[in-house]
Structure 1
Amino acid sequence: MSPLRWGVVTAGTVVHDFVCAISTLPECDHKVVAVAASGRDSVQKFAELHGIPSFYVGFEALAKNPHIDIVYIGAVNSVHYEVAMKMLEAGKHVLCEKPLCVNEGQSKALLNYARERKLFCMEAIWSRFFPSYNHVRERIRKGDLGNVKEIIAELGSPASKMERNRIRQLGGGSVFEKGFNNIQLALWAFQEAPDKIVVNKCIQNADNDYTETNVDLHFPSGGVAKFKTSAVKELSNVAVITGSKGSIKLHEFCCPIELTDIDGTVRFYPLPSSNVECIMKNSVGLRFEAEECRKRILAGDSESQVVTHANSLAIARVQDAIRKRLGIETAEDYTFKS
């Protein structure tokens, strides 16, 4: 059986780590065959570093390559829709970094088009494919936690040197980039959408970008998720999921290889080493979402049941609601209606 042939868009940090993660999977299953970025020098060096046979200046040329099955998009958030649509138009499956698009309307348009083309399209919520998440999901399914009552999570790290994480116009900041991870965890654990959103705190920097936010999500079941995000300082990056029978703590909950179980046992899920060293923490864990893509494409599925299209739209809807409360608007809010 032929390997799944990957093209990757941009030659930045997250794409570097994604390609490193792919290198830990069997070559008979996955192969990165092309990379595209805006700068010739950077994309050529990237291709040489990772042993990628083809490189392009600009993503349009990559879209025309007939030897690519799926494209991983790690560009800045504000261009996700444009790049993903171009790849779908070219008949390629898509794995797009989170957040999928700038708002719910844009995400809906993209996912509808993918379904029309009968192509696989998934938002890259890598957290959900870690073994730690699988363990928590099984605990919840079996009733070991009882009814989920509360989630307390905080995620923060200085992002001043990473434009995609910092600048709101590129889809960055504590609402778009950091806050996404807290929202997806809450909706994943409660398995429902919130019916009340309370913004308790928000701090702006000199560029009027929201760098810190504290938000509570209240759910119809009576549960609540309380989260804190910061794009300027380091936080614990821990999430505690509490049910009527106990709690589980996810350490580095965006990419957890360690958890403290309901009985106090610390469980560790080590990751393999990549050929080229990753830049971000636990990034070899990106391998799990890549393998999910391969399995779903082989099965002829248009979406994953771990990150469904409905999941992506629900998360976008919550982000839109938080932005509205903070008075944040984007041009896409006027051109893409939910």
Structure 2
Amino acid sequence: MTLPVSRRPGADAVPALRWGVLGTGWIAEQFCGALHPHTSQRVAAVGSRSPESAQRAAARLGAESAYGSYAELVAAPEVDVVYVATPHPMHVDNALLAIEAGKHVLVEKPFAVNAEQGRRLAEAAEAAGVFCAEAMWTVFLPKFDVIRQLLDDGALGELTTVVADMGEWFDPGHRIFDPGLAGGAMLDLGTYPVTLATWAFGDATLQTVTGAGTRSGSGVMGQFSAGLDFGGGRLASLSASIEADLPTRATIAGSRGRLDIDRHFYRPGSFTLVRRDGSQERYTEEAVAHAGLFHEALEVARCIGEGLAQTPLRPLAATVDTLSVMDAIRATHGDEFACE
């Protein structure tokens, strides 16, 4: 068997959109930095909370213009689509601001801090008839299109198991330790293994969940582990930590074989298909880290160019379902956010 080839579109196959970036932090820098060398997408404008910070951000992000308020950014006529890159508790309000202005929107993960908020945002986008998606960049990567094809073609047989972890060390002053910003292991890191499980198992519905977590010194949940039963013999074992450097690998297994996804499974990179008879095939992809963020922008451009209000690769219902699973895991060990 020869491994399938990715079907993700090239930069020249999608329209060049004019992006407005709402927020000026680290992830905004990574996103804009990935667009410039790899696509024809334009960073048309950046919005911040003051004209001075907006001007500084525009110079740093390579934006063509700067706006000193979020309201001005979403109203800007030169902006086709808004990328929301603000802290977690602000995602819904900022995305709603763009939607109310009639703009398409890509919302940085997590889409919202819980499923109720995510559902409200999804309903607003659908009612307005604008494109909306969560910037869960993993599912838009070429590697994951190849994996999707293998799963859909039955290369692993009946799926039974997903095992995934994600953990790294952070400076004590990092926002991830801030309770006021919905910090902790779940929203920044846990969203990746949970997304992998819900994405791999497709429309399976969570039946039961067990979990445990421990708090960091700042009060946020520093780590968690969870066992998920999706019914039909489908189980997931997931964990995340902001206090330990975990392997950050993943395995998807079934009755005929398994996929072992290399370290930093959620980024561009490689994996190995191991069949039941022990034979193996290797998929190799350059591990370019966050330089691969441009793939999500290409998918947004493709969908908007084709008049789609959602991407079939990550429908809003799937995003809300993942948030529901995250809510269920948090409930097992009392992980609550002040902004809920």
Structure 1 portions without partners, runs of 5+: 272-280, 334-338
Tell me which amino acid in the other structure corresponds to 2:308: D
Instruction: Tell me what 2:210 maps to.
Output: 198
Give the Cα–Cα distance (whole angstroms) in 1 for the partners of residues 141 and 201 of structure 2. 18
Give the Cα–Cα distance (whole angstroms) in 1 for the partners of residues 173 and 136 of structure 2. 19
Q: Given the alignment of the two structures, is residue 128 of structure 1 paired with residue 144 of structure 2, yes or no?
A: no
RMSD (Å), alpha carbons: 1.9
The verdict on how the C-alpha distance between 1:228 and 1:26 changes in structure 2, with shifts beyond 3 A counting, is closer
1:295 to 302, 308, 322: 302
Matches within 5 A, 1:154-193: 154-160=165-171, 163-191=174-202, 192-193=204-205
Q: Given the alignment of the two structures, is residue 91 of structure 1 paired with residue 102 of structure 2, yes or no?
A: yes
Instruction: Tell me what 1:275 maps to.
Output: none
Instruction: Tell me what 1:65 maps to.
Output: 76
2:23 to 10, 14, 31: 10
Give the Cα–Cα distance (whole angstroms) in 2 for the partners of residues 209 and 98 of structure 1. 18
Q: CA deviation at 1:74?
A: 1.1
Instruction: Tell me what 1:140 maps to.
Output: 151
Contact 1:171 1:177 in 2 (8 A): no
Q: CA deviation at 1:316?
A: 1.1
Tell me which amino acid in the other structure corresponds to 2:91: H
1:227 to 238, 250, 258: 238
The verdict on how the C-alpha distance between 1:162 and 1:107 changes in structure 2, with shifts beyond 3 A counting, is farther
Tell me which amino acid in the other structure corresponds to 1:185: L
Instruction: Tell me what 2:4 maps to.
Output: none
Q: 1:24 aligns to what SS in structure 2?
A: helix
Instruction: Tell me what 1:336 maps to.
Output: none
TM-score of the two chains, using structure 2 as the length reference: 0.89
Instruction: Tell me what 2:318 maps to.
Output: 311
1:267 to 283, 288, 300: 283
2:58 to 47, 60, 78: 47
**What is the aligned-residue identity percentage?**
29
Tell me which amino acid in the other structure corresponds to 1:196: T
Structure 2 portions without partners, runs of 5+: 1-13
Contact 1:10 1:43 in 2 (8 A): no
Instruction: Tell me what 2:10 maps to.
Output: none
Q: Given the alignment of the two structures, is residue 214 of structure 1 paired with residue 214 of structure 2, yes or no?
A: no
Give the Cα–Cα distance (whole angstroms) in 1 for the partners of residues 205 and 224 of structure 2. 20
Contact 1:174 1:210 in 2 (8 A): yes
Instruction: Tell me what 1:274 maps to.
Output: none
Q: Given the alignment of the two structures, is residue 37 of structure 1 paired with residue 48 of structure 2, yes or no?
A: yes
2:121 to 98, 106, 110: 110
Q: CA deviation at 1:37?
A: 2.2
Q: 1:160 aligns to what SS in structure 2?
A: coil
TM-score of the two chains, using structure 1 as the length reference: 0.90
Tell me which amino acid in the other structure corresponds to 2:256: K
Report the number of matched residues: 321
Give the Cα–Cα distance (whole angstroms) in 1 for the partners of residues 187 and 329 of structure 2. 10
Instruction: Tell me what 1:276 maps to.
Output: none
Q: CA deviation at 1:41?
A: 4.9
The verdict on how the C-alpha distance between 1:161 and 1:292 changes in structure 2, with shifts beyond 3 A counting, is farther
Q: 2:280 aligns to what SS in structure 1?
A: coil
Q: CA deviation at 1:130?
A: 1.1
Give the Cα–Cα distance (whole angstroms) in 2 for the partners of residues 117 and 126 of structure 1. 24
Give the Cα–Cα distance (whole angstroms) in 2 for the partners of residues 121 and 157 of structure 1. 30
Tell me which amino acid in the other structure corresponds to 2:282: V
Q: CA deviation at 1:232?
A: 1.4
2:130 to 115, 119, 122: 119
Tell me which amino acid in the other structure corresponds to 2:285: Y
